[in-house]
Amino acid sequence: MSTQLPDDFKCPISLEIMSDPVILSSGHTFDRVSIQRWLDSGHRTCPITKLPLPEHPCLIPNHALRSLISNYTLVSPSKSQPCSQPQTLVSALTSPSSPIGTKLDSLTHLAGLTKRDSSLRRKLTESGAVPAVLKFVDSEDPVLQEKALSLLLNLSLDDDNKVGLVAEGAVNRVVKILRIGSPDCRAIAATIITSLAVVEVNKATIGAYPDAIPALVRLLIAGKGREKKEAATALYAICSFTDNRRRAIDCGAVPILINLLDLGLERAIEVLGLLVKCKEGREEMMKVNGCVKVLVKVLKNGSSRGVQYGLFTLNCLCNYSESFCFEARKQGVLGICLGLVEEENEKIKRYLSNLVQTLSGNHAIG
């Protein structure tokens, strides 16, 4: 079998056809068993480039190559055996000869099937469907694009797929949709960012894309209701990574989020609760006229989660600035806090106690 397949399908270490190809940080691909044996022997250099590797190298599944190998090995007498419906749909999706209508039907059905079937999501990722799905994400046909994004979102639900999807170029395509897609497509694209960012390493990777955070911030401005909410959720997901907070602040996110919060988008206070953790965020919030009033409104009318983040944000700002602390007192924050003393939520209790102490003692540090 190995003599009939391209040399690129062979592991550089074992020289055998790869069954589970993985990408090393050097950019080269090896069969997982072979490279793991190399690493377990104590080596911390790439076998090909000899460049140093991290102490705990990350092995990223090369789904694209795995699917190519799989497709080649399927060219045998066994191919005449009947396929199950998902396999047939994947074949129609990946075949260059399939009509657009057939591909659209395949995307629609696969999006429906993968919504709750994790085993099928895994099979699809391993079958070579991802490059085809990403190709349709690039489509100029908004219907094809939306169906492809829905399927991509489903595939991203499995943690095992998240890093691989990023490695295969999903972020670049999704960010492009955030900029120029239809309203529905942009909302799905923002949701995909949120899903991919569940894995810690992806937060840094997504934030490093030059237009990822700017595109989300622009969506906060120009998007409709669902787009704004999903964009704010995506920012919340990626801004738990410290560097991304500064990137969002540099894009002008703070005044936009405060304005949206004033208009009733409570998700904005969650993002502000992350941005307030860095000095640049606190300084930007203090520049916004009426910031205290907006935060007070959250304490009065917000959900339990909104109140929690409102208390935390206020306390950070009051601790940072004596003038902000004075303004909070002037706006009656102490009285509002007294009205929350019977709140049973543990985080609210803690943040409430901290804020009361700050307002009472004026523990400003700035």
User: 1 pLDDT exceeds 50?
Assistant: no
pLDDT at 38: 87
Top-confidence range, 70-79, 238-247, 334-343: 238-247
Model pTM? 0.74
Two structure tokens written together for 206: 């997504």
Tens of pLDDT, residue by residue over 173-199, are 999 999 999 999 999 999 999 999 988
pLDDT tens, position by position, 294-311 = 999 999 999 988 999 999
The single-letter code of the amino acid at 231 is A
Enter the tokens of residue 322: 């004596």
Contact 320/277 with Cβ under 8 angstroms? no
In the chain, where the domains are located:
7-74, 89-251
Q: What is the percent of the chain where pLDDT is above 70? A: 92
Alpha-carbon distance of 65 to 21, in angstroms, equals 7
Mind listing the pLDDT tens digit for each residue in 275-293?
999 999 999 999 999 999 9
Say which residues have a Cβ less than 8 Å from residue 224's Cβ, sequence separation at least 6: 183
Residues 138-167 have pLDDT tens digits of 998 889 999 999 999 999 988 889 999 999
Residue 262 burial by Cβ neighbours in a 10 Å radius (0-12, 13-18, 19+): middle
Band of residue 170 on the pLDDT scale cut at 50, 70, 90: very high
pLDDT computed for residue 353 by the predictor: 92
Per CATH, 7-74 and 89-251 having the same topology is answered no
Predicted confidence at residue 5, as pLDDT, reads 64
Give the residue carrying structure tokens 């994400």. 137
Residue 62: the pLDDT is 80
Give the rounded distance of the alpha carbon of 355 from its chain centre.
32
Q: How many CB atoms lie within 10 A of CB 142?
A: 12
Q: What mean pLDDT value characterizes the chain?
A: 88
State yes or no: pLDDT of 68 exceeds 90: no
328, 288 in Cβ contact below 8 A?
Answer: no
In the predicted model, is pLDDT for residue 101 greater than 80?
A: yes
pLDDT score at 4: 53
Residues 11-43 have pLDDT tens digits of 899 888 888 888 888 888 999 888 988 888 888
Using a CB cutoff of 8 Å and minimum separation of 24, what contacts does 203-211 make?
Answer: 203/237, 203/238, 203/240, 203/241, 203/244, 204/241, 204/243, 204/244, 205/166, 205/171, 206/166, 206/171, 206/238, 206/244, 207/238, 207/241, 207/243, 207/244, 207/247, 209/171, 209/172, 209/175, 211/175, 211/179
7-74: CATH number: 3.30.40.10
pLDDT the model gives residue 82: 40
pLDDT at 88 over 90: no
| 75, pLDDT greater than 50 | no
Q: How confident is the model at residue 114 (pLDDT cuts 50, 70, 90)?
A: confident
Let me know: does 319 contact 282? Beta carbons within 8 Å. no
CA 291 vs CA 16, 48, 109, 317, 366: distances in Å = 63, 56, 47, 10, 18
**Above 50 in pLDDT, residue 204?**
yes
Q: Is 302 helix (H, G, I), strand (E, B) or coil?
A: coil
Query: 124 and 164 in contact (C-beta within 8 Å)?
Result: no
Question: Residue 114, SS3?
Answer: coil
CB atoms within 10 A of CB 140: 6
pLDDT score for 80: 37
pLDDT band, residue 119 (cuts 50/70/90): confident
Residue with tokens 């969002």: 248
CATH architecture for the domain at 89-251: Alpha Horseshoe (1.25)
Q: How far apart are CA 13 and CA 84, in angstroms?
A: 36
Residue 234 banded pLDDT, cuts 50, 70, 90: very high
Taken as a whole, the chain contains a residue count of 366
pLDDT at 3 over 60: no
Write down the residue that tokens 């190559």 correspond to.
65
Higher pLDDT among residues 220 and 66, named by residue: 220
pLDDT, residue 60, reads: 85
Q: Which pLDDT tens digit goes with each residue over 315-365?
A: 999 999 999 999 999 999 999 998 888 877 888 889 999 999 999 874 544
Counting residues of the chain whose pLDDT is more than 90, the rounded percentage is: 56
- The band of 366, judged by pLDDT with boundaries at 50, 70 and 90, is very low
